[in-house]
Structure 1
């Protein structure tokens, strides 16, 4: 049966819906059934979304709004990331909000937790661990968005990573020229990865994704460089040397890294398919999200696409599929 793409997607969704009705709930199949006919690719697990109000001038994103957007774009599950550092956003997005939303929608939303390393706490490392353990006991699956106005390997940052190691939490971090700062070539990140080899570190932000290219001046760690990607980028070197490094493809930084040089982007997606995670950084109603169309524009083997769109996140975050 040869159907046009839109009809074929609708047929598959209807088939999956019928299966779901008479079988154990499968969020991926359910996402296909809910998705609009023009959804580009998927089903996805989005490792980077936010709830509430993030930047001044933007309307808040409600749980209902996030779920409706997920249905439209064939997103089976989404990680909800708090923002608790003053440099991270205009408004704080508390861990408790992410936990409550996930408790109400456990089949769709995955909560992370976060504290600022400069937070006052008693009891040293034991006290810090207890703070995070409370969140883990309530269902937190990771730590982040770790978006702090300190160097990536500053001692207080390292103390947080040590506790995440104890609690087996992946760390989703933001790096640019203000938050999670580093030098050209990312030597600070290399020190972090070496010091905590059992902690999965999920990289995000302009400083991280600009480092896909070699010959990178430090000034570009805060921006979105254009043009061809030069060989010898820090990311290839770090991915090769450190199995605990992952990449979050969200936001303008992730999409720019792939779109600025589509030929390189295609090779990079295939070469690093085991370590890349689909994400959007969706945080306000009506936000333009380039990741869906961008991912659909690459000619990727089916197994590569499945890993990036959902498989890696399922494994890393120990999610039911």
Structure 2
């Protein structure tokens, strides 16, 4: 077992997060329904409810919370999916807000609208729509997973509206959704144009860019080779303070595990802007993040930031 994970409760005490005394082990993340005290558990910044692709695998809010209990996850961000390229079965902002209203101590709602929606065409209209959702409790925008170039004019309207409303935006990049090129130049255009908007990176295209020397095809995949110098993520994080990383899904776990030495150094180097996430979206789904974090040797303070402190600060949560 990983010493850092065994002593995670102690680390949160030292960080002043009010954790009750006790120890976590790596194995405890797979224990059945532990008692999670407020201010002590993980904050997962990427989950979904409803149906994704398989109509036989509907994930209810209650089933999500039961899974959270099994894995020491105190709160989860729930993301709608509103673009036709994002899922077979759309997940509306309204359904996410309703679930969070029923479980306000466990679920954190985000909002989303496809930028091609007719009545959301102007920035003014988008601001009005997004602000109404924020007034109902939405803490961010996403999952922004749209079949357009990342800096398409319609996408840029969404970014402008989110900047005006002052909420972060969680995006997906690959070769189909949020399309970009090696080096993530389209993402950089958005970061530069909207410096007051905090972007949260997710998806194969984002996480493959931990390495340099990518081909366009690799932006849509899960490279297994050792990380090469010149990765766009490090470069962008060095130059733009408004970009964060969501470690969820196979893409997030693969980016660190493909080169564990580099991945560990990366997490330490970018500890203030990395967020724990799983992309849990269907009953029985395998989640590689738990196994990954059992292998990692990270300082307690770094784990505390990744597990919850960064999310609390970015989403303006009550600790």
Q: CA deviation at 1:297?
A: 1.3
SS at match of 2:182: coil
Q: CA deviation at 1:127?
A: 1.7
- Which residue of 236, 251, 269 maps to 1:253? 251
**CA RMSD of the aligned region, Å?**
2.5
Choose 246-255 or 296-305, whichever is displaced more: 296-305
- Which residue of 100, 104, 107 maps to 1:106? 104
- Cα distance in 2 for partners of 1:68, 1:124 equals 40
- Cα distance in 1 for partners of 2:90, 2:122 equals 25
CA 1:219–1:140 in structure 2 vs 1: closer, same or farther (change >3 Å)? same
Alignment of 1:309-320 (within 5 A): 309-320=307-318
The aligned residue for residue 39 of structure 1 is 29
The aligned residue for residue 75 of structure 1 is 73
- Which residue of 251, 269, 272 maps to 2:270? 272
- Cα distance in 2 for partners of 1:163, 1:122 equals 11
The aligned residue for residue 21 of structure 1 is none
Instruction: Encode CA deviations 1:245-272: one digit per residue, 9 max, x unaligned.
Output: 0000000000000010111111011011
Q: Where does structure 2 lack aligned partners over 5 or more consecutive residues?
A: 32-39
Q: Assess if the C-alpha contact under 8 Å between 2:211 and 2:229 holds in 1.
A: yes
The aligned residue for residue 50 of structure 1 is 48
Alignment of 1:158-307 (within 5 A): 158-307=156-305
Q: CA deviation at 1:43?
A: 2.5
Q: Assess if the C-alpha contact under 8 Å between 2:122 and 2:157 holds in 1.
A: no
The aligned residue for residue 137 of structure 2 is 139
- Larger Cα-atom Rg: 1
Q: CA deviation at 1:91?
A: 0.2
SS at match of 1:115: coil
TM norm structure 2: 0.89
- Cα distance in 1 for partners of 2:27, 2:298 equals 21
- Cα distance in 2 for partners of 1:286, 1:96 equals 25
Instruction: Encode CA deviations 1:105-125: one digit per residue, 9 max, x unaligned.
Output: 111100000000000116832
Instruction: Encode CA deviations 1:239-297: one digit per residue, 9 max, x unaligned.
Output: 00000000000000000000101111110110110010000000001110010121121
Q: Where does structure 1 lack aligned partners over 5 or more consecutive residues?
A: 17-25
Q: CA deviation at 1:56?
A: 2.7
- Cα distance in 1 for partners of 2:120, 2:253 equals 41
CA 1:204–1:36 in structure 2 vs 1: closer, same or farther (change >3 Å)? closer
Q: Aligned pairs, how many?
A: 301
TM norm structure 1: 0.88
CA 1:53–1:209 in structure 2 vs 1: closer, same or farther (change >3 Å)? same
CA 1:123–1:82 in structure 2 vs 1: closer, same or farther (change >3 Å)? closer
Q: Assess if the C-alpha contact under 8 Å between 1:70 and 1:76 holds in 2.
A: yes
Q: Assess if the C-alpha contact under 8 Å between 1:246 and 1:277 holds in 2.
A: yes
Name segments (4+ residues, structure 1) moved above 3 Å: 26-30
